[in-house]
A and B are shown apart, each in its own frame.
Chain A
């Protein structure tokens, strides 16, 4: 996994990118009604998947835009890249 394909800039070296952790986490729409436990989970709890992981990256030393990627966390192989807002693609081997 030495290159990452930025949806805007194309193939670039991994060192240009910053990892942003798990993707597709939606901020609660009604903050006032959230319990402490729900807020705690929203802020701190992540899937930490062993296998197919949907995650966010930023092209820190390029266009500085955020995007999403799908990576196998066992082999570190990237399986797909897509822009923020686009639906997550289905990839082979994804059990979820």
Chain B
């Protein structure tokens, strides 16, 4: 059943201002779970909500529930550094991430929700000869796939970020710029998809943890949750951080390990840096949010953990290179630090796949770079769930690649996505 929403616009803003903003309707309902649904999505982050939205919007399947064990976007959707880009090396990755960027560009209009997508440009720095060869190879590969890539000299990098210390310990030798890359507001992505999906009739059920599956003769019949058993025609698992645990409930194993990835946010300050700058060699990623905070990320922690805070010495490994590259930030104070649990596969590519259980599909293992893929991932996963066959873009990410050896090896060959 559809639940139409009033349209957000300048007029609705003015109208609600007149009543002191007390008249805004709830963005989505909080229904009790029904006894059964056509499709049950497990995981109410960006990917899960996007999947539900596209199922309802493009495939007319509206008898859908999204089950979230905490609150919407409270997992990795709210714990990343909000970077959007698609300049991946391999054709398979380029296809899915660029599909996402294409959707990002009209997402605010599509959802009638300001996701604050800001294609401000994304610069990858090169610090040695190997880096230069890598970004040239990747830039050429991007061209072949129709993705924009611009090679920059150190001087051009400096024009983008005037206070960058080119002659630092690992000097800046060049860079590659994707102008269509940038950032988006992570919470708004979850909320926008939730509101739009709810309007189309999707039930979003929070504080509902899945504790097991009802599987008969290899076919999934439903899920067991902390709010009772729910029947399901099909189940789409879109969890992050605990995907291995979910797979074990269904009786199979996934080649995924969970590592914390830390991020840092500084105190707010005046606009100082208007591009996203990534440096894979020294592992320092930086951008500035609309609130003025510097958003800083680094490499993942070296050992598996579910602690959601990360290991202590990693703080220095991240902050050190940032200060070396940008000495003016040396006295900026950090306001928050946190760790997100990233489900990492051996080839740093996601697992979007059918499973040994009939009518159950997984879309997991997005590792350190899932946020940017949110719309594309949801879009192709919804199509796969609706048809029962993997979408062309999703097909190469099937779990049998770990047995056939047909890996999509982004870890060794290209920028390890962060």
Contact surface of A with B, Cβ cutoff 8 Å: 1-2, 14-15, 18-19, 21, 36-37, 39-41, 43-46, 48, 50, 53, 55, 71, 73-76
**Cβ–Cβ contact B306 & A45, under 8 A:** no
**Cβ–Cβ contact A45 & B255, under 8 A:** yes
- Smallest CB-CB separation from A55: which chain B residue? B303
Q: A48-B304, A73-B305, A73-B307 are in contact. Are A21 and B403 (CB under 8 A)?
A: no
**Cβ–Cβ contact B403 & A40, under 8 A:** yes
Complex Cα gap A37–B303 (Å): 26
Most chain B CB within a 10 A radius of its CB, from A14, A21, A55, A76? A76
**Cβ–Cβ contact B245 & A50, under 8 A:** yes
- Say how far A67's CB is from chain B's closest CB, in angstroms: 14
Contact surface of B with A, Cβ cutoff 8 Å: 242, 244-245, 253-258, 302-307, 311-313, 345-346, 402-405
**Cβ–Cβ contact B305 & A76, under 8 A:** yes
- Ordered by A's residue number, 8 sampled pairs between the chains whose C-beta atoms are within 8 Å are A14-B312, A18-B302, A21-B304, A39-B403, A40-B255, A45-B254, A46-B257, A73-B305
Complex Cα gap A37–B404 (Å): 8
**Cβ–Cβ contact B256 & A48, under 8 A:** yes
- Smallest CB-CB separation from A2: which chain B residue? B312
**Cβ–Cβ contact B302 & A36, under 8 A:** no
Complex Cα gap A76–B239 (Å): 22
- Smallest CB-CB separation from B317: which chain A residue? A15
Q: What residues of B have a CB within 8 angstroms of the CB of A36 in the complex? A: 403-405
Q: What residues of A have a CB within 8 angstroms of the CB of B257 in the complex? A: 21, 46, 48
Most chain A CB within a 10 A radius of its CB, from B245, B303, B305, B313? B303
**Cβ–Cβ contact B402 & A48, under 8 A:** no
- Smallest CB-CB separation from B253: which chain A residue? A45
Contact partner, B307, options A14, A43, A44, A76, Cβ 8 Å: A76
Complex Cα gap A15–B254 (Å): 30
Q: What residues of B have a CB within 8 angstroms of the CB of A43 in the complex? A: 346
Q: What residues of A have a CB within 8 angstroms of the CB of B405 in the complex? A: 36, 40
Task: Identify whether the interface residues of B are mostly helix, strand, loop, or mixed.
Answer: loop
- Smallest CB-CB separation from A19: which chain B residue? B303
Q: A15-B313, A41-B253, A73-B306 are in contact. Are A48 and B403 (CB under 8 A)?
A: no
Q: What residues of B have a CB within 8 angstroms of the CB of A73 in the complex? A: 304-307
Complex Cα gap A71–B301 (Å): 15
**Cβ–Cβ contact A50 & B306, under 8 A:** yes
**Cβ–Cβ contact B306 & A44, under 8 A:** no
Q: What residues of B have a CB within 8 angstroms of the CB of A40 in the complex? A: 255, 402-405
- Smallest CB-CB separation from A50: which chain B residue? B306
Contact partner, B313, options A14, A21, A39, A55, Cβ 8 Å: A14
Complex Cα gap A67–B307 (Å): 23
- Say how far B346's CB is from chain A's closest CB, in angstroms: 5
3 closest pairs, A vs B, by CB?
A: A19-B303, A44-B255, A40-B403
Excluding A40-B402, A48-B256, 15 further A-B contacts by CB distance (< 8 Å) are A2-B312, A14-B311, A19-B302, A19-B303, A21-B257, A36-B403, A37-B403, A40-B405, A45-B255, A45-B402, A46-B255, A48-B304, A50-B245, A74-B306, A76-B311
Complex Cα gap A41–B244 (Å): 14
Q: What residues of A have a CB within 8 angstroms of the CB of B403 in the complex? A: 36-37, 39-41
Complex Cα gap A26–B94 (Å): 37
Q: What residues of B have a CB within 8 angstroms of the CB of A44 in the complex? A: 255, 345-346, 402
Complex Cα gap A37–B242 (Å): 23
Q: What residues of B have a CB within 8 angstroms of the CB of A48 in the complex? A: 244, 256-258, 304
Complex Cα gap A21–B254 (Å): 16
Complex Cα gap A76–B254 (Å): 23
Complex Cα gap A46–B402 (Å): 12
- Say how far B135's CB is from chain A's closest CB, in angstroms: 28
**Cβ–Cβ contact B304 & A53, under 8 A:** yes
- Smallest CB-CB separation from A15: which chain B residue? B313
Complex Cα gap A27–B404 (Å): 19
- Say how far B361's CB is from chain A's closest CB, in angstroms: 19
- Say how far A18's CB is from chain B's closest CB, in angstroms: 7
- Smallest CB-CB separation from B242: which chain A residue? A50
- Smallest CB-CB separation from B401: which chain A residue? A40
Most chain B CB within a 10 A radius of its CB, from A1, A46, A74? A46
Complex Cα gap A73–B254 (Å): 18
Complex Cα gap A2–B315 (Å): 13
- Smallest CB-CB separation from B399: which chain A residue? A40
- Smallest CB-CB separation from A48: which chain B residue? B244
Q: What residues of B have a CB within 8 angstroms of the CB of A74 in the complex? A: 305-307
- Smallest CB-CB separation from B301: which chain A residue? A19
Q: What residues of A have a CB within 8 angstroms of the CB of B303 in the complex? A: 19, 21, 55, 71
